[in-house]
C-alpha cells in the first residue's frame, strides 16, 4: 500500500492489517512507551485546506510518537491565499523532502489528485476530501467498534472483522465523507449498515449502496437491534445559503433524527453511541446521550492516534520491515 485515499475498494485483509497494527500501537502506548523510533528521519507534512481539530492533532501526535519530523501547513496564512495551486503547493512540499503528506481539502478528489498527479514521490493520506472520503475516521470507528463489541482486547491476528454487527448511521449523509467511508469499510468488515436520514439529506444515485435506508430514527430502532449508532454532524456550512436551505427545520430534525436518552435506551443492551465530532449538541445529539456511559465519543478521538500511527507505519515503514 503506497497511499491511503479511501475505504472504497480496500480489501478486508488490508483493513484488518491496519486494525491489528493499531492494536499493537495502542499496546505500546498503554505500556507507556510513548515514542517508537520507527519513522526517525522521515518527514510527515500535515497539509490542511479545511479546519480540523481531531484529525490534524492526532496525525501530528501519531507521527511524533513514531519519531517522524512533522511540518504543519495550514492554507490560512500560506501562499494558497495568494492563489497558489495544489500542484505548486505539492511541488514545494516535494522540494522540502516530504515522505508523507496528510491532506484535508474541500474538493472531493483532491487527495487522489495529489497522489496521482506526479508531483510527489511520497505517500498521501486522505484526511478528508470534500464530501467524498475520510478513511482514517472510518478505520478508527471500526477499531472502536471492534474493541467494544467484538471483544478485541489487544493485538489480534484471527482475522476478525465486525461480522454480524448492525450499525445505524444517522443524519446528514449527503454531506458526510465519514458516512461514505464508514459504509464501505463496515460492509467490507461484515457489518450491516442502516442509513437514517431525511430524503433531502441523502445523496442521489445511492441505489446500489449495500445499505438499508430509513427516514426516521425510530423506524430503524424498531426494525432490528442496533449495536452502534453513529450520529453525523449536520453540516450547515455545506448547505446553500449557509443553512438557509436546511430542511427539515432544526426542531423537526431533532424530533425525527436526534438521539436522546429515550432513543438511546432502545439500542441493543451493549449498544454504543458514536459521533465523529465536532458535535452540534442539542441538534443531532442531546448532552445526556453524548455524555452517557454508552458514549464512546471521547474514546474515538483517543483511538484515532493509534489508528493513524498504524497507517503511517504501514505506508512509510511497513515495506522496509517486511
Residues flagged as binding site for L-aspartate: 82, 177, 233
Nearest distance from C-beta of residue 54 to ligand CP, angstroms: 4
Q: Which stretch binds ligand CP (CB under 6 A): 10-18, 143-151, 182-190, 274-282?
A: 274-282
Q: Which stretch binds ligand CP (CB under 6 A): 39-47, 52-60, 85-93, 117-125?
A: 52-60
Closest CB to ligand CP among residues 133, 152: 133
Buried b (16+ CB within 10 A) or exposed e, 218-229: eebbeeeebbbb
> How many alpha carbons lie under 13 Å from residue 15 in its C-beta half-sphere?
29
* Contact between 72 and ligand CP per CB under 6 A: no
Nearest residue to ligand CP by CB is: 55
Nearest distance from C-beta of residue 53 to ligand CP, angstroms: 4
> How many alpha carbons lie under 13 Å from residue 297 in its C-beta half-sphere?
22
The set of cell numbers assigned to 191 is 457489518
The set of cell numbers assigned to 273 is 453511541
Closest CB to ligand CP among residues 147, 192: 147
* Contact between 106 and ligand CP per CB under 6 A: no
Residues 121-140 interacting with ligand CP (rule: CB under 6 A) = 128, 137
The set of cell numbers assigned to 7 is 475505504
Among 26, 123, 276, 310, binds ligand CP (CB under 6 A): 276
The set of cell numbers assigned to 204 is 442521489
296 near 272, Cβ under 8 Å? yes
Report the Cα–Cα distance between both ends of the chain, in Å, rounded: 13
Nearest distance from C-beta of residue 137 to ligand CP, angstroms: 5
Among 8, 17, 54, 238, binds ligand CP (CB under 6 A): 54
DSSP state of 295: B
Q: Which stretch binds ligand CP (CB under 6 A): 159-167, 194-202, 205-213, 270-278?
A: 270-278
Closest CB to ligand CP among residues 122, 276: 276
- Cα–Cα distance measured from residue 115 to residue 216, given in angstroms and rounded to the nearest whole number: 39
Nearest distance from C-beta of residue 231 to ligand CP, angstroms: 12
- Cα–Cα distance measured from residue 275 to residue 59, given in angstroms and rounded to the nearest whole number: 19
Closest CB to ligand CP among residues 71, 155: 71
Give 109's contacts (C-beta < 8 A, 6+ positions apart). 129, 130, 132
Nearest distance from C-beta of residue 275 to ligand CP, angstroms: 9
Closest CB to ligand CP among residues 182, 286: 182
246 near 185, Cβ under 8 Å? no
Q: How many beta carbons lie within 10 A of that of residue 310, not counting itself? A: 27
- List, as residue ranges, the binding site for carbamoyl phosphate: 54-55, 104, 134, 137, 277-278
- List, as residue ranges, the binding site: 54-55, 82, 104, 134, 137, 177, 233, 277-278
Buried b (16+ CB within 10 A) or exposed e, 236-274: beebeeeeeebeeebeebbebbbbeeebbeebbeebbbb
* Contact between 55 and ligand CP per CB under 6 A: yes
- Exposed / middle / buried, residue 167 (Cβ in 10 Å: 0-12, 13-18, 19+): buried
Closest CB to ligand CP among residues 128, 258: 128
Nearest distance from C-beta of residue 176 to ligand CP, angstroms: 10
Among 11, 30, 40, 53, binds ligand CP (CB under 6 A): 53
Give me the residues that bind ligand CP (CB under 6 A), please. 52-55, 128, 137, 276-278
Amino acid at each position: 500500500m503506497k497511499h491511503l485515499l479511501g475505504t472504497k475498494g480496500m480489501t478486508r485483509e488490508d483493513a484488518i492489517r491496519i486494525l491489528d497494527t493499531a492494536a499493537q500501537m495502542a499496546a505500546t502506548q498503554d505500556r507507556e512507551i510513548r515514542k517508537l523510533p520507527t519513522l526517525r528521519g522521515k518527514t510527515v507534512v500535515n497539509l490542511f485546506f479545511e479546519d480540523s481539530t481531531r484529525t490534524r492533532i492526532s496525525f501530528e501526535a501519531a507521527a511524533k510518537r513514531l519519531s517522524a519530523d512533522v511540518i504543519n501547513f495550514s492554507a490560512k496564512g500560506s501562499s494558497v491565499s495568494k492563489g497558489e495551486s495544489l500542484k505548486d503547493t505539492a511541488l514545494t512540499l516535494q522540494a522540502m523532502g516530504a515522505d508523507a503528506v496528510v491532506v484535508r481539502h474541500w474538493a472531493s478528489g483532491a487527495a487522489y489528485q495529489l497522489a496521482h498527479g506526479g508531483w510527489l514521490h511520497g505517500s498521501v493520506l486522505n484526511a478528508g476530501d470534500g464530501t467524498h472520503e475520510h478513511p482514517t475516521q472510518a478505520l478508527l470507528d471500526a477499531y472502536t467498534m471492534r474493541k467494544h463489541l467484538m471483544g478485541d482486547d489487544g493485538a489480534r491476528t484471527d482475522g476478525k472483522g465486525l461480522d454480524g454487527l448492525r450499525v445505524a448511521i444517522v443524519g446528514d449523509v449527503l454531506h458526510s465523507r465519514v458516512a461514505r467511508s464508514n459504509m464501505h469499510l463496515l460492509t467490507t468488515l461484515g457489518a450491516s449498515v442502516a442509513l437514517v436520514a431525511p430524503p433531502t439529506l441523502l445523496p442521489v444515485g445511492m441505489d446500489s449502496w449495500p445499505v438499508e435506508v430509513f427516514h426516521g430514527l425510530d423506524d430503524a430502532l424498531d426494525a432490528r437491534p442496533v449495536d452502534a449508532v453513529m450520529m453525523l454532524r449536520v453540516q450547515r456550512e455545506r448547505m446553500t445559503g449557509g443553512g438557509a436551505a436546511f430542511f427539515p427545520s432544526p426542531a423537526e430534525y431533532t424530533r425525527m433524527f436526534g438521539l436522546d436518552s429515550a432513543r438511546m435506551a432502545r439500542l441493543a443492551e451493549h449498544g454504543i453511541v458514536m459521533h465523529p465530532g465536532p458535535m452540534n449538541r442539542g441538534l443531532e445529539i442531546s448532552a445526556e446521550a453524548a455524555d452517557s456511559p454508552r458514549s464512546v465519543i471521547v474514546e474515538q478521538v483517543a483511538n484515532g492516534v493509534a489508528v493513524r500511527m498504524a497507517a503511517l507505519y504501514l505506508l512509510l515503514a511497513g515495506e522496509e520491515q517486511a
